């Protein structure tokens, strides 16, 4: 017995750890929200490439934004008739490549659209990698840079020092700054100059190009910014204004020094970007991001099914929760029901009809059915013909309810068809046998117990939070299983027994 | 209205979950169920072990057997036809005697052979069995009830239920039908539950609907005078059922025949807990006494002696 008990405990523990662990993982790492209404902002980013065809086959190469921990680019779609499109990897970086099907001439427009989603709880903490630092041959420039850095105030936070450096660089009175800016080309541009100086000043800096995800903006160009590591955060600095910008809304497109766009067989090429923000449900965003990154928990889950099947599972996943309610009501409370899982099926009907209408319809069908069935008792029919006869009665009752309620203008009566006929027939049969064997009191107790259970299950199932958790975290079923196993081996008293055996306690 | 779990535990009361998890699941392996659920199998087991039960006269297994009924019953005494897999006393036809070609029921009304045949045929087709499965009809000798319990029941003759735990009879009771229970012996429908002392076979306490009472509400009989004759035989027979079924938690139902003494009517693998209410006593302390005997080999007779010494009021 003790080994059995141990086995049980181990199973329960494993189920709990697996269930709660994967729910935690999906919530914390994959961004699945625990509440149904939580929304996330996503941005649709569209890049538009234009160039003039040179009457030759054209090849267009656009560098792709990086997928980083905090920003996920998903659902990339290409709109460019007459071109073949695919992604290629070069030196570990991703490019989109269009190849024309033949010679092109005149103005060409290519579009690439993607959805960008910022994962919650993962913001920042990785500075873009830094390419090889520039080596400056010019002695006087090198000296000016050293002097410039030496003149800076070395106290204060990293943020203050970085901002201070950029302010000093744009200060027209600073001789070194003016000289360096004039010769910025040697460094590969002003932004790389700023990066060079920051490194010399001991800051961990890198230059990136990207765009801000505004609510609605058109014809943006990629702009250069400087990232500076500040502890476990990343500061995004605008070298033009010497200000710190909101890194949460910045999409890093590129962090190397290579060109963004290359066009072979065309001229006057340019690329512009427009962004549009929208709100979607957090769980949808998480599913899309998970699919995009090929996460196992998302990829091999019900989310990989077609939408119609997903909806079927939305309902199916609620049934174990109904079963848990039944287990609790029967084994912990001690309510008796007619047919073990009949209340779950009735609760599923209530989901269609709403509670009060469902209860009213159920009572009408079962009571009329019981009256008709009582006549069958005199005939002493065998079981299967008896049930079949009840089934025919049930159809008659359905038709009668539907027609009568339709005639008097109660559309609610038409919902009678949601009730599963076989279950209703069996319920009537069981109640009828119970009436004959035990009397009407037991019928009321069991019938009442069944309806009470069905109503409770309905209330649980139609709860938005329960539905959301069951669908977003099917792993919760493992936890459910653990609870059911625990209750299954519970040998304590039921709530109703505290009442049943109470007379035996009183006189002691 | 409600009491607390700790008070129930203190009173040693066994709850449903305890019964199912700690008693039935542990001591009554499922493979043993058919021998008590199928009354024909039970009957054969009892006969093999020489335990007394109403004698089996014949079995109607096929519709062909039904046609042979008339010839078979020609020289039978009073008999009972019942389904082997029936429940709740359904489908039992009692024939107390003959009146020419008629079969006379205890109520005095007579029926002819065609109706007896129809009844047997209905049993075979599964009219009274659980789930409508086809069944067999058993024909057994009618019990000549002793008049020792006259006046204790509104209708019918009370039977004695003894709970046997690991072969030790631990608690006993009888259920007396009342007008309120519609002649049925179900406690929760208003029948009187009467606890019987394992040691003496005399009435202990009586309850109806959870309240104690001293006299039968319909017959007015003083319940304290209930005294089971040949009590040792009752307890011994019940105790011997452990050896033949090997079930550790068993309910044995017996009746008293005028001439043949205690007769085992049926065995139950899931005996209910109402017996605690009838005895106004929890089962747990008695289980513990028996558990303390683990490892001691005793015959049924020795167990009976032990139980009658231990479980006396």
Closest of B199, B160, B158 to residue B176, by C-alpha: B158
- Report the DSSP beta bridge partners of residue A114: A45
Contact call for A503 and B88, based on CB within 8 A: no
Residue B151 lies in a domain: yes
**What mean pLDDT value characterizes chain B?**
91
Say how far residue A487 (Cα) sits from the centre of its chain: 32
Residue A175 in contact with partner chain B when CB distance is under 8 A: no
Q: What is the pLDDT of residue A253?
A: 83
Q: CA B313, CA B309: separation in Å to the nearest integer?
A: 10
Residue A379 in contact with partner chain B when CB distance is under 8 A: no
Residue A378 in contact with partner chain B when CB distance is under 8 A: no
Contact call for B8 and A331, based on CB within 8 A: no
Q: CA A119, CA A32: separation in Å to the nearest integer?
A: 10
Residue B87 lies in a domain: yes
Contact call for B17 and A331, based on CB within 8 A: yes
Cβ contacts of B88 on chain A, cutoff 8 Å: 437
Cβ contacts of A429 on chain B, cutoff 8 Å: none
Interior/surface letters B115-144, b for 16+ CB within 10 angstroms, e for the rest: ebbebbbbbbbbbbbeebeebbbbbbbbbe
Residue B13 in contact with partner chain A when CB distance is under 8 A: yes
Contact A369, A428 (CB under 8 A): yes
Cβ contacts of A439 on chain B, cutoff 8 Å: 182, 189
Contact A282, A39 (CB under 8 A): yes
Residue B26 in contact with partner chain A when CB distance is under 8 A: yes
| CATH code (residue B288) | 3.30.470.20
Which residue ranges in chain B fall short of pLDDT 50? none
What is the pLDDT averaged over residues A414-420?
87
Interface test with B, best of A335, A383, A390, A444 (most B CBs within 10 A): A383
Nearest CA in chain A to B19: A491
Closest of A292, A287, A289 to residue A310, by C-alpha: A287
Give the model's confidence band at A74: pLDDT under 50 very low, under 70 low, under 90 confident, else very high: confident
Least confident interval from A99-103, A483-487, B120-124: A99-103
Contact call for A498 and B282, based on CB within 8 A: no
Contact call for B132 and A508, based on CB within 8 A: no
Q: CB-CB: which of B22, B210, B277 is closest to A491?
A: B22
Q: What is the pLDDT of residue B89?
A: 74
Cβ contacts of B23 on chain A, cutoff 8 Å: none
For residue B95, which phi and psi values (nearest 5 degrees)?
-115, 110
| The pLDDT of residue A263 is above 80 | yes
Query: Quick one: what percent of chain A has pLDDT higher than 90?
Result: 23
Give the model's confidence band at A131: pLDDT under 50 very low, under 70 low, under 90 confident, else very high: low
Strands across the sheet containing B102-104: B97-99, B102-104, B110-111
What is the pLDDT averaged over residues A50-76?
79
Contact A321, A379 (CB under 8 A): no
For residue A160, which phi and psi values (nearest 5 degrees)?
-65, -40
Residue A385 in contact with partner chain B when CB distance is under 8 A: no
Give the model's confidence band at A508: pLDDT under 50 very low, under 70 low, under 90 confident, else very high: very low
Residue B43 lies in a domain: no
Q: Are residues B234 and B260 in the same domain?
A: yes
Contact call for A382 and B4, based on CB within 8 A: no
Q: Are residues B165 and B252 in the same domain?
A: yes
Note down the domain range covering B118: 55-141
Q: Are residues B9 and B28 in the same domain?
A: yes
- Report the DSSP beta bridge partners of residue A58: none
For residue A311, which phi and psi values (nearest 5 degrees)?
-65, -35
Nearest CA in chain A to B211: A503
Contact call for A501 and B277, based on CB within 8 A: yes
Measured from the Cβ of residue A378, the count of other Cβ atoms closer than 10 Å reads 7
Least confident interval from A9-13, A186-190, A289-293, B247-251: A289-293
- Report the DSSP beta bridge partners of residue A212: A250
**How many CA atoms does the CB half-sphere of A321 hold within 13 Å?**
26
Residue B295 in contact with partner chain A when CB distance is under 8 A: no
Three-state SS at B266: strand
- Which helix (H) or strand (E) covers residue A101, if one does? strand A93-118
Q: CA B86, CA B90: separation in Å to the nearest integer?
A: 6
| The pLDDT of residue A173 is above 90 | no
The shortest C-alpha distance from A114 to chain B (Å) reads 59
Contact call for A490 and B17, based on CB within 8 A: yes
Contact call for A380 and B277, based on CB within 8 A: no
Q: CB-CB: which of B3, B21, B277 is closest to A498?
A: B3
Interface test with A, best of B1, B15, B115, B128 (most A CBs within 10 A): B15
Contact call for A383 and B18, based on CB within 8 A: no
Contact A275, A231 (CB under 8 A): no
A131-135, A221-225, B289-293, range with greatest mean pLDDT? B289-293
Q: Are residues B214 and B88 in the same domain?
A: no
Cβ contacts of B186 on chain A, cutoff 8 Å: 438
Q: What is the pLDDT of residue A290?
A: 73
The shortest C-alpha distance from B259 to chain A (Å) reads 33
Q: CA A494, CA B16: separation in Å to the nearest integer?
A: 7
Burial of A380 (0-12, 13-18, 19+ CB in 10 A): exposed
Higher pLDDT, B161 or A436: B161
Q: Are residues B70 and B161 in the same domain?
A: no
Closest of A111, A101, A103, A100 to residue A54, by C-alpha: A103
Identify the domain boundary among B93, B110, B141. B141
Domain residue ranges of chain A, discontinuous segments joined by + = 2-37+286-301, 312-473
Contact A467, A310 (CB under 8 A): no
Cβ contacts of B280 on chain A, cutoff 8 Å: 504
Q: What is the pLDDT of residue A506?
A: 66
Identify the domain boundary among B89, B115, B141. B141
Cβ contacts of A1 on chain B, cutoff 8 Å: 26
**What mean pLDDT value characterizes chain A?**
84
Contact call for B276 and A331, based on CB within 8 A: no
Q: Are residues B215 and B111 in the same domain?
A: no
A:435-474 residues touching chain B, CB 8 A cutoff: 437-439, 441-442
Residue B49 lies in a domain: no
Cβ contacts below 8 Å, chain A against chain B, sum to 85
B:163-192 residues touching chain A, CB 8 A cutoff: 182, 186, 189
| CATH code (residue B67) | 3.30.1490
Q: What is the pLDDT of residue A123?
A: 46
Q: CA A430, CA A447: separation in Å to the nearest integer?
A: 10
Residue B134 in contact with partner chain A when CB distance is under 8 A: no
| The pLDDT of residue A122 is above 80 | no
| The pLDDT of residue A121 is above 70 | no
Closest of A229, A244, A256, A68 to residue A158, by C-alpha: A229
Q: Are residues B97 and B239 in the same domain?
A: no
Q: Are residues B153 and B124 in the same domain?
A: no
Identify the domain boundary among B112, B141, B170. B141
Q: CA A322, CA A332: separation in Å to the nearest integer?
A: 15
What is the pLDDT averaged over residues A62-77?
72
Contact A496, B18 (CB under 8 A): no
What is the pLDDT averaged over residues A119-129?
54
Q: Are residues B215 and B240 in the same domain?
A: yes
Residue A501 in contact with partner chain B when CB distance is under 8 A: yes
Residue B1 in contact with partner chain A when CB distance is under 8 A: yes
Contact call for A380 and B13, based on CB within 8 A: no
Q: Are residues B117 and B137 in the same domain?
A: yes
Three-point CA angle B307, B308, B310, nearest 5°: 60
Residue B18 in contact with partner chain A when CB distance is under 8 A: yes
Q: CB-CB: which of A334, A384, A504 is closest to B13?
A: A504
Q: Are residues B266 and B189 in the same domain?
A: yes
Domain total in chain B: 2
Q: Are residues B101 and B248 in the same domain?
A: no
The one-character DSSP state at A155 is -
């Amino acid at each position: 017995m003790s080994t059995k008990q141990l086995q049980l405990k181990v199973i329960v523990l494993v189920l709990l750890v697996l269930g709660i662990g994967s729910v935690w993982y999906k919530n914390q790492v994959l961004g699945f929200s625990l509440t149904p209404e939580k929304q996330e902002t996503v941005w649709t980013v569209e890049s538009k490439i234009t160039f003039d065809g040179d009457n030759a086959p054209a090849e267009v190469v656009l560098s792709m934004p990086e997928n980083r921990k905090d920003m996920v680019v998903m659902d990339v779609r290409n709109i460019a008739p007459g071109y073949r499109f695919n992604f290629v990897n070069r030196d570990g970086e991703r490019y989109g490549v269009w190849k024309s099907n033949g010679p092109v001439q005149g103005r060409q427009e290519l579009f690439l659209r993607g959805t960008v989603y910022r994962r919650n709880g993962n913001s920042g903490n990785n500075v873009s990698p830094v390419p090889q630092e520039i080596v400056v041959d010019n002695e006087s420039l090198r000296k000016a840079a050293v002097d410039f850095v030496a003149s800076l105030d070395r106290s204060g936070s990293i943020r203050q020092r970085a901002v201070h450096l950029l302010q000093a660089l744009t200060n027209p009175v600073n001789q070194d700054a003016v000289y360096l800016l004039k010769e910025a080309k040697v460094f590969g541009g002003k932004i790389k100059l700023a990066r060079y100086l920051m490194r010399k000043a001991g800051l961990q800096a890198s230059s990136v190009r990207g765009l801000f995800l505004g609510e609605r903006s058109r014809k943006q160009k990629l702009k250069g910014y400087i990232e500076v590591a500040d502890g476990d955060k990343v500061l995004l600095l605008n070298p033009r204004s010497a200000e710190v910008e909101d890194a949460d809304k910045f999409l890093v497109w590129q962090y190397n020094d290579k060109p963004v766009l290359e066009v072979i067989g065309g001229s006057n090429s340019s690329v512009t970007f427009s962004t549009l923000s929208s709100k979607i449900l957090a769980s949808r965003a998480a599913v899309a991001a998970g699919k995009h990154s090929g996460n196992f928990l998302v990829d091999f889950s019900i989310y990989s099914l077609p939408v119609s099947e997903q909806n079927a599972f939305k309902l199916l996943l609620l049934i174990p929760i109904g079963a848990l309610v039944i287990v609790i009501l029967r084994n912990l409370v001690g309510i008796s029901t007619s047919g073990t899982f009949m209340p779950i099926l009735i609760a599923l009907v209530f989901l269609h009809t709403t509670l009060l209408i469902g209860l009213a319809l159920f009572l009408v069908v079962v009571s009329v059915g019981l009256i008709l069935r009582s006549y069958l008792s005199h005939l002493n029919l065998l079981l299967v013909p008896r049930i079949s006869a009840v089934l025919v009665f049930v159809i008659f009752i359905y038709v009668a309810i539907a027609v009568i309620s339709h005639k008097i203008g109660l559309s609610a009566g038409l919902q009678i068809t949601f009730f599963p006929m076989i279950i209703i027939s069996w319920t009537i049969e069981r109640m009828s046998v119970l009436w004959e064997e035990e009397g009407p009191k037991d019928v009321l107790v069991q019938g009442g117990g069944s309806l009470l259970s069905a109503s409770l299950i309905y209330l649980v199932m139609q709860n938005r939070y329960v539905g959301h958790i069951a669908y977003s975290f099917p792993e919760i079923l493992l936890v459910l299983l653990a609870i059911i196993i625990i209750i299954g081996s519970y040998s304590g008293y039921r709530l109703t027994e505290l009442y049943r055996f109470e007379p035996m306690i009183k006189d002691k | 209205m409600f009491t607390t779990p700790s008070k129930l535990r203190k009173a040693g009361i066994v709850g449903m979950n305890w019964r199912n998890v700690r008693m039935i699941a542990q001591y009554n392996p499922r493979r043993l169920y058919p021998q008590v659920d199928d009354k024909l199998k039970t009957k054969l087991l009892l006969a093999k072990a020489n335990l007394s039960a109403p004698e089996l006269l014949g079995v109607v297994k096929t519709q062909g057997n039904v046609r042979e009924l008339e010839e078979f019953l020609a020289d039978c005494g009073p008999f009972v036809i019942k389904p082997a897999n029936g429940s709740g006393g359904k489908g039992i036809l009692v024939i107390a005697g003959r009146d020419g070609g008629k079969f006379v029921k205890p109520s005095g009304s007579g029926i002819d052979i065609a109706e007896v045949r129809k009844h047997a045929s209905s049993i075979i087709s599964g009219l009274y069995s659980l789930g409508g499965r086809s069944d067999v009809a058993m024909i057994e000798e009618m019990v000549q009830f002793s008049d020792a319990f006259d006046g204790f029941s509104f209708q019918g003759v009370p039977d004695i239920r003894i709970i046997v735990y690991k072969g030790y009879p631990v608690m006993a009771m009888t259920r007396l039908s009342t007008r309120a229970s519609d002649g049925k012996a179900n406690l929760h429908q208003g029948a009187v539950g009467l606890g019987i002392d394992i040691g003496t076979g005399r009435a202990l306490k009586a309850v109806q609907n959870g309240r104690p009472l001293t006299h039968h509400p319909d017959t007015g009989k003083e319940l304290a005078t209930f005294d089971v004759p040949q009590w040792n035989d009752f307890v011994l027979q019940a105790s011997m059922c452990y050896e033949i079924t090997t079930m550790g938690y068993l309910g044995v139902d017996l009746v008293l025949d005028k001439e043949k003494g205690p007769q085992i009517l049926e065995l139950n693998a899931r005996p209910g807990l109402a017996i605690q209410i009838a005895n106004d006593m929890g089962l747990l302390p008695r289980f513990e006494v028996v558990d303390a005997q683990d490892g001691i080999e005793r015959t049924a007779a020795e167990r009976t002696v032990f139980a009658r010494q231990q479980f006396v009021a």
